[in-house]
Structure 1
């Protein structure tokens, strides 16, 4: 399996490098997208295969990774993937993982104690897992000096019984083992409902829908811009069909509106678009084609 972990992007004076945790080849389009229309497949098959869709199984190919951002002053992670050793019996893709994620981070030149900030788009299973690791039977912070920054709405919801139900599989047990220890250690910072600027180069943009307080994160440096999209989209097929929500989108209308905003914003401003689940390099550009959008990996 080829892991796209080494490409580094330059946004002004800031570098961004993908640190891949794992690849997925498990979801047929009909599962991931309840509104799936099979007739869309033929006209898009030329760019979907082989890197974004497995022609043998018909499953969509996805990635789970984090983005390592290095400024002149800080070492930052955008989300933290799924984590090892987590109890996820109802979500077997993430159950008792044993991936070399920290080794890949080290290969990029970063040790856990050197991470200054972790910026979270939301608090789902595959975005907060490496917040903690299992040491002597206890979940302890993986990045001992890092400030973890996330939307307050996410903490309020996923830290409450309201979110603990069989429908919301992406969050079952996640807050307890991957977020609560960060709060207890005093490393958590919250972003208000309206988002806003953080540090010198980042802006949290509210993009509710996939989750209650989901935010995309804009990066600016020396006149250049990028967007860490979070889960407004799970696969480049949604660039072509932004009306399709994933099976994991909890607020349907808001999810479509947020996806449309992200696509229009990226196309209008020519933003480099960093995704958490697209395959290949996982980064690229959105362009308009009439009243539709198109995707190009960078």
Structure 2
């Protein structure tokens, strides 16, 4: 059985907001070549700043699954919910996991019943898994007192999509139970973004999926940006044209990534990568005609 972790979750301070990284699991080395096929070992090793934190000496990417939790405007917020435990998944790295994610979340001060708001950057299996847990023979919302938010464009796209069996299974166990409980709220996200809670704004970053959003935090003049899958790995700062094999619209995904990186480059904005391995966060600086990450492990 999972046990409560002995070490506290990593945190970053954004004004009055403390952001906790809630770890789920490192993803296997094969994830990088599958997910970002253009991030070849030669490309990766050409950026020496990626080693040792974000890639190994052979140019194999380090990629994690984790969530972010914080309190903003009196609301207890969780951004994305990872892969989940006991889920039937086609990807062997995601199938039937047994992690201590909920224990870590609770140890960070966010027991499931206390969460007020769950923000889903998009509806992929590794971002919605802990939406539900198996209770009394059925998948039930893990956060029964929370509103779950995602963009209307996102949900309506998948409603009309000809899903393969694995994706249908994911919706059955991790999305539809939340809808059936009346907890899923769909937001129209305009070009300038929309406030989800005081100091928390959803910004449209389409391409990976049609309704993908990034999450902006502001407090006392400080700013942070949670990437979702607009940026999967820091190698994409150096090479923004590198996209994911599962991008719905690769050209739009690249445009969103370039716009997001350009908006935070050479500023004090803290970039928090949804799949970035530790140290996970940092400031984006210009390097040549692209960017690099100055890591912040605080």
TM score, norm. by length of structure 1: 0.90
Q: Distance in 2 between matches of 1:82 and 1:63?
A: 11
Contact 1:4 1:281 in 2 (8 A): no
- Equivalent position of 1:7 in the other structure: 10
Given the alignment of the two structures, is residue 184 of structure 1 paired with residue 187 of structure 2, yes or no? no
- Equivalent position of 1:289 in the other structure: 287
Runs of 4+ in 1 over 6 A off after TM superposition: none
Q: Which runs of 5+ in 1 are unaligned?
A: none
1:273 is matched with which residue: 268, 271, 274?
271
Contact 1:25 1:59 in 2 (8 A): no
Q: Distance in 2 between matches of 1:53 and 1:5?
A: 24
Contact 1:28 1:59 in 2 (8 A): no
2:208 is matched with which residue: 207, 210, 214?
210
The alpha-carbon distance between structure 1 residues 213 and 238, as it changes in their structure 2 partners (threshold 3 A), is same
* Count of residues in correspondence between the two structures: 290
- SS of aligned partner of 1:93: coil
Q: Which runs of 5+ in 2 are unaligned?
A: none
- Equivalent position of 2:76 in the other structure: 75
Q: CA deviation at 1:184?
A: 0.9
The alpha-carbon distance between structure 1 residues 276 and 163, as it changes in their structure 2 partners (threshold 3 A), is farther
TM score, norm. by length of structure 2: 0.90
- Equivalent position of 2:44 in the other structure: 41
- Equivalent position of 2:163 in the other structure: 164
- Equivalent position of 2:261 in the other structure: 263
Contact 2:189 2:203 in 1 (8 A): no
CA deviation map 1:104-149 (0-9, x unaligned): 1111122110001001111111111101001122000001100001
- SS of aligned partner of 2:62: strand
- Equivalent position of 1:245 in the other structure: 243
- SS of aligned partner of 1:281: coil
- SS of aligned partner of 1:80: coil
Given the alignment of the two structures, is residue 234 of structure 1 paired with residue 232 of structure 2, yes or no? yes
